[in-house]
Amino acid sequence: MTVPAFPEKEALRVVREALREDLGQNGDITTRAVFPGPVRGRGRLVAREELVLAGIRLASLVMEAGPFPGADPVRVLEARRDGERLGPGEVLAVLEGDVRTLLAGERVLLNLLQRLCGIATLTAACVAEIAGTGARVADTRKTTPGLRALEKYAVAVAGGENHRMTLDGMILLKDNHKELAGGLREALSRVLAGGHDPSAIEVEVDSLEELQVALEFRPGWILLDNMGPEHVREAVRLVGGRARIEVSGGLRPGHLRPWAEAGADRLSLGALTHSVRAVDIGLDI
């Protein structure tokens, strides 16, 4: 599997803001009081449970950002690669340098790394669950404000698919658009009147009747919202390859395969990012 490009610019912005939040006005006063001068040391990022690694580059970004002013940056050695699966006790990376930098940057690094690895670990489990069906697992825009680029990177690292990153990524007609426009047919007519390519449009439908209306406009994607596997199977039959089919709403990790086997092209889960459990990673200095 090809690892996607790490979102360096967004990650650096997140790291700087997180350090500002954590260090306060006067920095790590405890570490400064205990260690007034440089102290050389080594830290190890250690997996406390099985995980899929995502975001190891953050170790360098946090330590190079200077969480302890005046101390030398910490070097990152022996780092594993994003996308690797690690077990309890395995080392993600070794960090070497002034322990004051390690201590001051520890919490920010762990907060971010544990969350991204949690997302990657859950995504990998979902991908494995529907293996062989032809369906893909995708994320949504239900991300942590400010962390979207990093969270979607973690999904992609684990073999998931990124849905639109921003609202300008594609046209996606949802329930509120339809209601406010006076119905699906009117909403789609307005979109096409605006010059948008139908093949680049996705339309959410709540029933097989709405599906028939959507197909009149030849959209590229049909989003089946809160439909059970049998309804999805019937929708796939009705579409007959004229559009690709996404299923969303009510999908839960560990219970995905019936929807994938019904013929959906993509299963999108907000749970990958909005309610994921951070994995347990320690920094042993």
C-alpha–C-alpha distance, residues 238 and 241, integer Å: 9
The pair phi, psi for residue 274, each rounded to 5°, is: -85, -20
What residue type is assigned to position 100 of the chain?
R
SS3 39: coil
C-alpha–C-alpha distance, residues 66 and 73, integer Å: 6
Tokens 């997180």: give the residue.
18
- Angle (nearest 5°) at CA 117 between 9 and 50: 155
> Which residues have a Cβ under 8 Å from the Cβ of 192 and sit 6 or more positions away?
198, 217
Report the catalytic residues: 107, 142, 174, 204, 225
Q: Hey, which bits of 174-256 come out as E strands? A: 201-205, 221-225, 244-248
